[in-house]
Amino acid sequence: MNVEQLSATLAAVASPQRMLILAELQGGRVHVSELARRVGMSRALLYMHLAKLEASGFVTTSLELSPEGTALKYVALAPFSLRITIDTITDAVAHAAASNQQGETP
Amino acid sequence: MNVEQLSATLAAVASPQRMLILAELQGGRVHVSELARRVGMSRALLYMHLAKLEASGFVTTSLELSPEGTALKYVALAPFSLRITIDTITDAVAHAAASNQQGETP
DNA sequence: TTCGGGTGTCAGAATATAGTTGCACCTGTC
DNA sequence: GACAGGTGCAACTATATTCTGACACCCGAA
């Protein structure tokens, strides 16, 4: 993981709002409108936060059809575990300096 | 640790510039002007980054007098280890303004 | 005295991020 | 048809963060 990716990943979780979202999702998957109600924010804003969380792999989403025929976009917590030490950071910095060629799995 | 503190701590390290500073400091302590030169930023900007890093305990600073009599502000890496899981986050959210949890050096 | 190299801080510009409002569209129910 | 409830997104404003440039001051050497 290079320094940009690591930074984006940490920034994604370094937000009280997004922590609240993650905590709420621990209870199980929820569709977007319901989640917006629970955490008390507009759907538009929630979409922005979800985009960041999903981009860094903290949540997954899937659009499904309810029995009533209405579309529901479900958001679920993805398993993750981050460990940050000086070595994590130095490695990321070194990778950025070297060459940002190939992908490492985050 | 509450959600505000955790967020601030993560935000402090979630910056390419500050990661670069930390990586540079792994080689040993450096005084501010020299560090500014090495990472290629103005002193004023570096002070801003250092304030955030120090506030979250990633670095320590000490003002010393060189043999030549000039003041030197040394910056040194502080030992730290962060572990972020869904439980870390849920606990932080739960501890809205509550007590201090155990174990990981910020 | 002037120069170079330090420390410390401030006001303001530039930029990124967060948040709001409004619209278009879909589906099943009253 | 008129709702109620869902998805998706663009335009806009507000706020926070990042960054620059300039200032004041201190010390030793030329």
pLDDT tens digits along B69-94: 899 999 999 999 999 999 999 999 99
Name, in order, each residue with C-beta under 8 angstroms of B43's C-beta and a sequence gap of 6 or more: B32, B33, B36
Residue A104 falls inside a structural domain: no
pLDDT tens digits along A23-69: 999 999 999 999 999 999 999 999 999 999 999 999 999 999 988 88
Max CA-CA distance within chain B? 53
Residues 32-51 of A with CB under 8 A from B: none
Total structural domains in chain A? 1
Residue B52 falls inside a structural domain: yes
From chain A, pick out residues whose CB is under 8 angstroms from the CB of B10: 10-11, 13-14
> For position B68, what pLDDT does the model report?
86
Query: Any bridge partners for residue A72, and if so which?
Result: A64
Q: Is the four-CA dihedral B36, B40, B43, B45 of positive or negative sign?
A: negative
Who among B6, B19, B94 is closest to A89 (CB)? Answer: B19
Taking the whole predicted model, whether its pTM rises above 0.75 is answered as: yes
Residue B103 has pLDDT above 90, yes or no: no
Instruction: Supply the range of the domain harboring residue A38.
Output: 3-98
Residue B102 falls inside a structural domain: no
> For position A97, what pLDDT does the model report?
61
> For position B102, what pLDDT does the model report?
43
Q: For residue A32, give the 3-state DSSP assignment.
A: helix
Residue B81 falls inside a structural domain: yes
Q: For residue B29, give the 3-state DSSP assignment.
A: coil
Which residue is closest to A84 within chain B, CA to CA? B82
Confidence band for A95, pLDDT divided at 50, 70 and 90: confident
What DSSP assignment string belongs to A55-91? HTTSEEEEEEE-TTS-EEEEEEEPP--EEE-HHHHHH
Confidence band for B100, pLDDT divided at 50, 70 and 90: very low
Q: Please state, for a pLDDT cut of 90, what percent of chain B lies above it.
A: 84
Confidence band for A98, pLDDT divided at 50, 70 and 90: low
Residue B50 falls inside a structural domain: yes
Output the CA angle B7-A12-A47, nearest 5 degrees. Answer: 115
Distance (Å) from the C-alpha of residue A76 to the closest C-alpha of chain B? 12
Residue A103 falls inside a structural domain: no
Query: Which of A13, A52, A56, A60 should be substituted to probe chain B, the one whose Cβ sees the most B Cβ atoms within 10 Å?
Result: A13
Name, in order, each residue with C-beta under 8 angstroms of A13's C-beta and a sequence gap of 6 or more: A19, A22, A53, A56, A58, A82, B10, B84, B89
Confidence band for A105, pLDDT divided at 50, 70 and 90: very low
CATH value at residue A49: 1.10.10.10
Name, in order, each residue with C-beta under 8 angstroms of A46's C-beta and a sequence gap of 6 or more: A21, A32, A35, A36, A39
Residue B40 has pLDDT above 90, yes or no: yes
C1' of C7 to CA of B28 (Å)? 21
Who among B10, B81, B83 is closest to A14 (CB)? Answer: B10
Say whether residue A4 is in contact with chain B using an 8 A CB cutoff.
Answer: yes
Closest CA relative to residue A91, chosen from A14, A2, A22? A2
Residue A106 falls inside a structural domain: no
Residue A85 falls inside a structural domain: yes
From chain A, pick out residues whose CB is under 8 angstroms from the CB of B80: 84-86
Distance (Å) from the C-alpha of residue A2 to the closest C-alpha of chain B? 10
